[in-house]
Structure 1
């Protein structure tokens, strides 16, 4: 799933299984937790689709089961940890609790309209959603922030993810005009269409491997691996601010009734994972 084949695929899959946890609640609700450093959301969703398809075949279509054998009941294992190890475990638990308590998750379904609405007007549903997020952030905070959209580069050999910069001059001009009573509806519509087109153009450039951030990141990693000083650009305050992603977004389309969530990239930020549906 993660690699082309051969021994690399086997080692990759073993690494993938070790970093994925299935969680099943008492009421039958199920989900999974995984590290995105191992696999992108599209690969995980493909695996989930395979599991659900396998389960939907029914008992008659499943392979014959081996005879049921009685096994002894599970036995609780007791471990004797040295004091130093116990201290590290307790510290890890406290750190995890701090992260959990500092994160708020809200999952909901927007029912007013779906992706057919922007498509009806020849607009990209994803770009339409991105500009909507820019407007929502502006209405909350009175300004825009560094925003990125994660996109897949799986069309390239060993491609993973890259980011599209969503907060553009065109987006700022639209959100400033959206609630301005002196602007006409026609002016606001024209600015919105311009912002959507700007985002779509930027996204297409990244999908073609022309990402600015990807190039700068490659330069940074080459300097670090070679023991060279970082370029002045990477030490500039403006670059640090423009890369402090307060709004991390991503479109994860899924044919199944499931919700994909991930946390923000920075302590004072948000993440928005969405899946446009028909309607």
Structure 2
């Protein structure tokens, strides 16, 4: 969290000799840069407001109102049909005798505006714009230190023995009563001037749209100590992987290439590949060899690009004699490719395979999964249902006859850089080869049947994952589930610690052969507990972001906290996330079930753990992405996938046996094909 040290830019102590003031010039510089960014955004927002108007009105409505007011003043007419006169009768009469005729007309015009403007807004029927609600969103509150400590201890209770829990409770209480309160004051100080104390540099529910600003032209750049994230305002090109760049926008953000032009243009690109080293060596090489000359110009072209495109020379997809195995390969390829054919630092890379299949690889620091998923959903729907293809597989439309030629990127790569590239590539490929990916569709039932049991689909899946892990590993673990905090300004994510006392009690009862009635009672408690944890995380009452911010402040203050150190070192052996489907109106799942995305995945957080991502597709399917490491003998992605499927079915069988829900929850499988296209 690069901005956390703003809270400790200065410290002072009172001594017998006077006030000892200590300034952190690095922190002060960060405060200056943060303030500069903030004011730039404010100016941009003001300009946006003037251009786009105030929702739901539009600029054209302003002109319409002005013309209407001037017309009624000129014709001396009363468009309110007497309503203005009746309102005037109830206005104060003071100074009325001194009013001129011009002032009377001005007052009538103002009253007309009050009457006519709502009508114009009603007629405009505008949908909310991207930033319509941005200024009305609340700031993320700083939770009370006592509440965070209590909730943390509750979350780890099922994972610790009695002596271990006693030790952790003592550490937590010591932290709360001493150092914790000091760190908390610094966080509250930052919250006074920051939009979000934890920020890293039908019915409409407003969500923060700040992440969308960084969608295009954003690149992460490495540093020796900390990395940086840059969003360039000069949106002039999209970079193509194989050694060439293509202009797809002009300096005024106008599109130069339409979709129909891209296949023709890509035939001009040759097979030239380049890789980048890992973080610290790459930061050193970048400073020494890529800060001037031809290397800098080529690197700037890529880093200022709207996004990155990889033309992969492989064929991928759910195809051939082993569609399930090929789906695993498809996911693994999108995750890391060959390691030298992706530019992982770009905000996102579109990967296009030899056989026409495509996918997205997104860098995580600029945004969270829902923002990327929103982009990809829109892309898939527009490509399939609006742009379309001819019968022979070409894009519909005419090719622009005068396309700008791709420009080959020039590089001067000395032997030292080549050696570092080879060394770093070997490390990256070893890491990539260790990832075990498994993707599978669960088609026995979906959210439709789960909801008929009066259970939250997310709670059902999360408790199923807990049961699957217990059966796979013989115990429980610290579990991460991603939740958003975009109900607040510049909100990112928060953690739902979905392994709770209630979920563990249910699983132990189920596995020990307790009665079905008792198991259903415990499951209901576990489900309610999970829903409450999720609501708390979304509404700013989560614990992990708060604890992490306290830890960062402690590092800048140069103080050690045994409690925070231990909290931040605990492994997340089960890391989970749901890929939301946000634009169902774009898809016709009944007639075209294979056009929606299969969701996204990620690698495991812990070396001996699992990464599980899932997407609830329509009413009758849940698609899972499971990852682990081959090097860990205790984990196996395919084995865990089997455990997930069995856990889902076992819990549904338990709930369906309940007389209160059995009549409504039982159903048949979805009639669609058993294969994903």
Task: Output the TM-score relative to the length of structure 1.
Answer: 0.86
| Deviation of the 1:80 alpha carbon | 4.8
Q: Which residue of 69, 86, 94 corresponds with 2:402?
A: 69
Aligned residues: 270
Where does structure 2 lack aligned partners over 5 or more consecutive residues?
1-40, 46-209, 220-306, 308-345, 390-394, 585-595, 621-677
Judged with a 3 Å threshold, the aligned counterparts in structure 2 of structure 1 residues 72 and 220 are, in CA distance, closer, same or farther, namely: closer
The aligned counterpart of 1:250 is 577
CA distance in 2, matches of 1:36, 1:218: 19
The aligned counterpart of 1:21 is 349
Instruction: Report the 3-state secondary structure (helix = DSSP H, G, I; strand = E; otherwise coil) of the residue aligned with 1:229.
Output: coil
Instruction: Report the 3-state secondary structure (helix = DSSP H, G, I; strand = E; otherwise coil) of the residue aligned with 2:401.
Output: coil
Judged with a 3 Å threshold, the aligned counterparts in structure 2 of structure 1 residues 202 and 58 are, in CA distance, closer, same or farther, namely: closer
The aligned counterpart of 2:561 is 231
CA distance in 2, matches of 1:201, 1:253: 19
Cα contact 2:347–2:363 (8 A) shared by 1: yes
**Partner deviation per Cα, 1:49-104 (whole Å, 9 max, x = no partner):** 332343332379x99867313787987x7855222211210122112111111111
The aligned counterpart of 1:103 is 435
Cα RMSD between the aligned structures? 2.9
Larger radius of gyration: 2
Moved more, 41-50 or 125-134: 41-50
Matches for 1:1-279 after TM superposition, within 5 Å: 6=44, 13-15=216-218, 17=307, 18-55=346-383, 56-58=385-387, 67-69=400-402, 79-181=411-513, 183-225=514-556, 227-236=557-566, 239=567, 243-254=570-581, 255=584, 256-277=596-617, 278-279=619-620
Task: Output the TM-score relative to the length of structure 2.
Answer: 0.37
| Deviation of the 1:154 alpha carbon | 0.9
CA distance in 2, matches of 1:260, 1:19: 15
Cα contact 2:373–2:580 (8 A) shared by 1: no
CA distance in 1, matches of 2:563, 2:488: 28
